[in-house]
Each structure stands twice: as structure tokens, then as C-alpha cells.
Amino acid sequence: MHGPGEVEVSRRGLLVGGAASVAAGAVSAPADAQRAPAAPKPAMAKVSFEVNGRRQSLEVDTRTTLLDALREHLKLTGSKKGCDQGQCGACTVIVDGRRINSCLSLAVMHEGDRITTVEGLGTPDKLHPMQAAFVRHDGYQCGYCTPGQICSAVSVLEEIRAGIPSHVSADLTAAPALTAAEMRERMSGNICRCGAYSNIIEAMADVAGAKA
């Protein structure tokens, strides 16, 4: 959601009562808009967490997401902003061993946490096995969703090993299998518009020693 647009639309929708015709007319701003009371100063807070093994202490606007703390404050731009509203998965990072959408989490909620971003998995000269598998299987094209896909892929294999069931697990009490269906289901929060899905599953299967 962004700005006043949507609010205006729903209000107008109610006013016209769903009528198909739209009358020309003014859409007025609220009557008190002219008075412009000064907005309060942003609330700032200190937070410390560990990113890729390094302790980081920041003072941030409390509205700052974990994603923007990483990208704008720590200049770790590997984690991507695709939607900023939890719909695409490009911002996926691993916090205390679990993957999360870092755009849906405020930085100040992570005091003391251990955060791993794609930069913490490997470097161009020393790729993590999942990063190397993505290169080998061409599991990316434009590369923008890739860090999130890789953080998710690493976590998904851990989740399956840990016995965590998914929507496609036939038996919720049995250990889930390393199947393509399990991997696809668990990876479905990470959108790749270039459409590298078939290759990503092959890269994951390669790392997991499973059949895609």
C-alpha cells in the first residue's frame, strides 16, 4: 500500500455506491489539511545484532526495516527490495537459523539476533555450495531475486532435514522427503519473474544429493 491513493479510492467507492458512472467533480482534501501541524520528530532507537559474524550497532529510525538497515545503513545490498511488502521473497535473510522476509521486520526487533545474508554465505572467490550450484545450473537470469532464492534454498534444505512438514507433505508426522514437490512448495514465496524455477530446483537437488 502506498500513499493516500488507495484510501481515496475506497472512500470514493463508498460515495458512488458502486455506480458504474463517474461524475466529474472535486475530490476534496481533508478540511484541516491547511493547518499542517508539525509532524513529530522520528523516534530513534539503538539496536545491536550480528550480521554475517560481525557485531553491528546502529541507531535507526524505528520505522527502518531490517532490510533497509542492511541495505542503506550497513550497505549490504545483497538482500534485495523487490516489493517491500512481503510478497516476493527477494529480501529473504536467515535470522537465528530461520529464513524471514527482512522487509516485513523492523530492525529494532532484532536486538541480539544472528543474521546471515547472501554475502555471509560465500564470496565470488569462495562460493557457498548453493551459490556454486546456482551458477552451474543457471538458476538465475537477471539476478535480482537470486540472493533471496539462495537464502531460501539453503534454509529449505535445513527445514526438510529438521523434519518440518509443508503443505505438500502427505504425512505430517513422518520425516518429509527431499522431493522436487517439497522443494517447489517451500520455495514458492520466492518469485523469479525471469522464470528460472526449473533450474533452481535442479541446483537445490544437486546440493541436497536428491533427484530433481
Burial class (CB in 10 A: 0-12, 13-18, 19+), 107: buried
112 vs 191 by CB, closer to other proteins: 191
20 vs 172 by CB, closer to other proteins: 20
Q: Tell me the three state secondary structure of residue 74.
A: coil
Q: Of 120, 121, 133, 102, whose CA–CA distance to 196 is shortest?
A: 133
Query: Least CB distance from residue 93 to other proteins, whole Å?
Result: 10
Query: Least CB distance from residue 111 to other proteins, whole Å?
Result: 19
90 vs 157 by CB, closer to other proteins: 90
Asked whether the beta carbons of 190 and 206 are under 8 A apart, the reply is: no
Q: Are strands 44-51 and 54-61 parallel, antiparallel or unpaired?
A: antiparallel
Query: Least CB distance from residue 175 to other proteins, whole Å?
Result: 21
CB atoms within 10 A of CB 179: 17
Query: Least CB distance from residue 109 to other proteins, whole Å?
Result: 15
105 vs 146 by CB, closer to other proteins: 146
